[in-house]
Chain A
Amino acid sequence: MSLTTSEHESTDGGEHHHEYLPAVEGAENPGGEHESAGERDKKERLMIWLFIGGDLVILILEVFAWFYLRTLDSNGMWNAAKCTASANCVDGLGNPLIGPVAKASIWHPMIIMSLAIISALFVWAAESASRRKAAKSAVSGPALAALVFMIAAIVVQILQFQVLPFTTVDGGYASVYEFFMGSTLAHLLLMGFILTGLWTRAAKGRYQGGTFHRVRIMRMFGVWIAISTSVLAIVGGFFV
């Protein structure tokens, strides 16, 4: 490989210095990092797309499990719809099942979905404010709102566990539905963690002066969380 050496030339565009940049007070460019915001943004955007790609595989397999078990309806135990007193259906604990397993309320997943979407919209608003170099509160305000809506979604998801009309042992439908809920909760918690960071850092002015890149990353992930939550809510709610 022929090469020349060129001090202070970029790996991909002219900004990649060998030395560390000095710390920039208040900006999202900590002293420990020696890349431009643009370079970092390029890497982080690709990272988040790849992460979403991996998460998409999980989502597809969850939905596959739902429709596969629903179609197969092995032993008539998708939701025990054909179980009667004479059919000898039993749940996972050996208790008799008579009649179909009650469906989960449609409202909980719809509320969670709505809250996740609203939260993502607020992250989007925070990104817009950061892009247009608005005041600190114009970023931290929507960030806080996004966090509040996300916490609300988490609370509703936990509440739904308390009020479900079935338990994990009640067949295929109950199994996959609760798995959806667990998966949704894990995603919401992760987003809640990220939004806490967005809010605290926005409140410290980290996203002022056009340093919107990481807010955009969070918005991308927030939108993905809203989409995956919606898919699971719709499948679980409307395709029993």
Chain B
Amino acid sequence: MSIATAPLLLEDTPLGPKAGGLYRRQNALVGLIAGVVLAAIGWVISHALLQGSNWGSDMVVTVTLTCWVIGFNIGIGTFNAPFRWVVGKDSTREDELYGAGVGQGAARYWKYCTDHKVVGTQYFVLVMVLFAIGGTLAMMIRTQLITAHSSFLSPGTYNNIVTIHGMIMIIATIIMVSGPFANFILPIMIGAKDMAFPRLNAMSLWVVVSAVPPLLATFVLGGVDTGWTTYAPLSVQAPPAMDAFAICIITFAGVSVTVAGINTIVTVSTMRAKGMTMSRVPIFAWGSVVSAALGLYAMPAFLTAMSMMITDRATGTSFFVNQLGGAGWLWENVFWTMGHPEVYVILLPGTAALMEIASTFSRKPVFAYKAAVAAFVGIGSLAIMVWAHHMFTTGWAPNLATPFMLTTELISIPTGVIFLVLIGTIWKGSIWARLPMYFLYLFLWNFIIGGVTGIYLSDVPADQFFHGNMFTTAHFHYTLLGGAMIAATGAVCYWFPKMTGRMLNERIGKTAFWFIAIAFQVTYFGQFWEGFQGMPRRIAFYDPIFLRANQMSTIGAYFLMLGWMILLAAIIVSWRNGKIAPANPWHAKSLEWKVQTPVPLENFLVDPVVTSDPYTYGEGVPDGQNQPSAAPEPELVPAGASESTSGGGAS
């Protein structure tokens, strides 16, 4: 006699052979094929109809790559749900479970999967791929600059590489925390079963994937030699590669980041666990929400700017052509409306993650929690009022220089508060010096240099000298790479056990850390030196007086790359063969550490009810005994031990 029993976990639910419908036949390979086929059709038709007309090449490239983006997303399944909805067909429970990856094992990582943990893992891998490409391009730039008149790259190729390096890094840094961690970790952290809109979540990921090939296609379409800011009129005069660049940005910024930002805000606003009041929300959630809100302001501006530019190029409008009634300043205003908030879109989630790390490894609550929240909101508010400091040297509205200098310098106040919150949190704490803390220390060092040098650039007279030279390059690398990316790396080390079910190899990780920490200073102090000497940015050849500084920077860059490669090796080795992670290796207090690893499909087997803030370290413990518990964690289901769908990233 057999007795039928209900599955214990949702992911073990047996599905019928038709569950998922069309999704069963769709994956990344189908997307690739559909994208290529539709792009080929688009090229044939547009070439036949438009090539001979004015701006024919631009129109053909625009149509072809738009077809690629649409085709890929048809193939992967982005449009299934909207079209099913519009014809009145709803998905069944089995369809939803299939969409969440049930019964598909590792194949779900190649599909339009709605499980936020799978999407977070997909983002994590995508970010590493983008950094690998962007980093390789950076090495080519530095190799060119190791001698004053290197023939390694032609000037045109050098400029193209500078542009695409910049844009790939901007894309990667925008999603490096909000992609992996705001997807995988954030919902668990607030006690939610998933993101608010799981399909939109998957869409935000696959849309980025479809946006990257057009960016890389710029190399075969004549290159974009304008720098990532693509100032007009250079952008209007550039080869058809500029259209590919614009398609990438419209797809990435206009669709993916906007949708992802909406999803993050709605998730935190409406799906918190019972009892999780706003003052009990983990600080990482605050940082993510403010970043998403800022992105919701900035990215539509990027979409608008690029749309205007592509119409200038492909239909003959003249938004940015002065002699035809346009204005280059219009581009600069609209672009920097996006450009400066975007810095904080990148920075805030990472610094918020560091606050979690600081609290966990100091065994102390986040210092001045409310001030930290206020600082995030303050930065978000001020960030939209500083855009014109990027235009001090352009001659635009000189009377506005002083107000913009003031707002820019004002923003150093909430930024300083964030710095003080981090210091205050670790101050007199019982420091547990694990790898995430190493990166926190490095962030503090780098960010103070990045912040202080930023004040010089916000100052109108000083900016006249520094604006177009390598000082600026060093400054924003200290801020975005030394600050945001180091913070993101700390977050990787911190949440790696939860995401993969394995402990990150700290021995290799710390080796990588020291390479990165030291080589970073060598690289970018070299660039500050170049800047003080007056070396302009974006040049392939330079006067020999800058040679020493460039050699210093290039040698530092090689070692920096080596450090990142060692860290990548640590990630890969640990993910494959690392020590099995307990559910809460850091003895942390927030909700993501309270669930088992691998995390079940809907995160919580029973709904949590929160009764305190997430930083109750030391409560009820006598002074001086606030140490991490030495007691072993209870044995939990190890990652990779079952073939179930749990724990995105574990299998």
Binding site for B on A (CB under 8 A): 1-12, 16, 18, 20, 23, 30-33, 39, 42-43, 46-47, 50-51, 53-55, 57-58, 61-62, 64-65, 68-69, 72-75, 77-80, 91-93, 167-169, 171-176, 178-179, 182, 193, 196-197, 200-201, 203-204, 206
Contact = CB atoms under 8 A, between A and B. Distances in A.
Nearest to A30: B90
Contact of B606 (A10, A18, A57, A92): A18
Given A50-B296, A72-B327, A32 B90 contact: yes
Contact of A53 (B269, B296, B323, B327): B296
A196 B83 CA distance: 10
Contacts of A5: 604, 606-609
B325 A78 contact: yes
Contact of B91 (A32, A78, A179): A32
Interface residues of B, number: 77
Contacts of B296: 50, 53-54, 57
B342 interface: no
A3 B612 CA distance: 7
Contacts of B334: 61, 64-65
Given A3-B611, A68-B330, A75 B304 contact: no
Residue of B93, B269, B308, B613 ringed by the most chain A CB atoms within 10 A: B93
Contacts of B419: none
B325 A175 contact: yes
A38 to B, nearest CB: 11
Nearest to B323: A75
Contacts of B96: 20, 32-33
Nearest to B86: A197
B192 interface: yes
B87 interface: yes
B304 A58 contact: yes
Residue of A42, A50, A93 ringed by the most chain B CB atoms within 10 A: A50
- Nearest 7 pairs between A and B by C-beta? A172-B325, A77-B325, A30-B90, A32-B96, A175-B317, A171-B325, A197-B86
Interface string B49-90: 000001000000000000000000000000000100111101
24 contacts: A1-B589, A2-B612, A3-B611, A5-B604, A5-B606, A9-B607, A11-B272, A20-B96, A31-B90, A31-B91, A39-B270, A43-B271, A46-B266, A50-B265, A57-B296, A65-B319, A68-B330, A69-B326, A69-B330, A74-B322, A77-B323, A173-B325, A175-B319, A203-B88
Contacts of B594: 1, 3
Contacts of A7: 606-607
Contact of A168 (B299, B301, B317): B317
B609 A6 contact: yes
Nearest to A79: B325
Contacts of B270: 12, 39, 42-43, 46
A93 to B, nearest CB: 7
Residue of A11, A62, A172, A196 ringed by the most chain B CB atoms within 10 A: A11
Given A75-B323, A75-B325, A93-B54, A16 B607 contact: yes
B315 interface: yes
A31 B589 CA distance: 36
B324 A75 contact: yes
B66 to A, nearest CB: 13
Residue of A3, A68, A171 ringed by the most chain B CB atoms within 10 A: A3
B521 interface: no
A43 B196 contact: yes
B292 to A, nearest CB: 9
Contacts of B258: 54
Nearest to A8: B607
Nearest to A21: B93
Contacts of B576: none
A74 B316 contact: no
A200 B88 contact: yes
Given A46-B270, A55-B300, A179 B325 contact: no
Contacts of B54: 93
Given A32-B92, A65-B330, A171 B590 contact: no
A157 B639 CA distance: 57
Nearest to B318: A175
Interface string B603-625: 01111111111111000000000
B88 A206 contact: yes
B57 to A, nearest CB: 16
Given A8-B607, A31-B90, A69 B300 contact: no
B160 to A, nearest CB: 27
A175 B95 CA distance: 47
A12 B611 contact: no
A6 B318 contact: no
A68 B327 contact: yes
Contact of A74 (B262, B308, B325, B609): B325
A81 to B, nearest CB: 11
A206 B270 CA distance: 25
B337 interface: yes
A5 B602 CA distance: 15
Nearest to B319: A175
A197 B81 CA distance: 12
B432 interface: no
A3 B327 CA distance: 58
A68 B333 contact: yes
B235 to A, nearest CB: 15
B197 A47 contact: yes
A31 B319 contact: no
Nearest to B384: A57
A31 B93 contact: yes
A12 B300 contact: no
Given A43-B197, A55-B300, A93 B318 contact: no
A61 B590 CA distance: 41
B316 A93 contact: yes
B274 A11 contact: yes
Nearest to B295: A54
B591 interface: yes
B482 interface: no
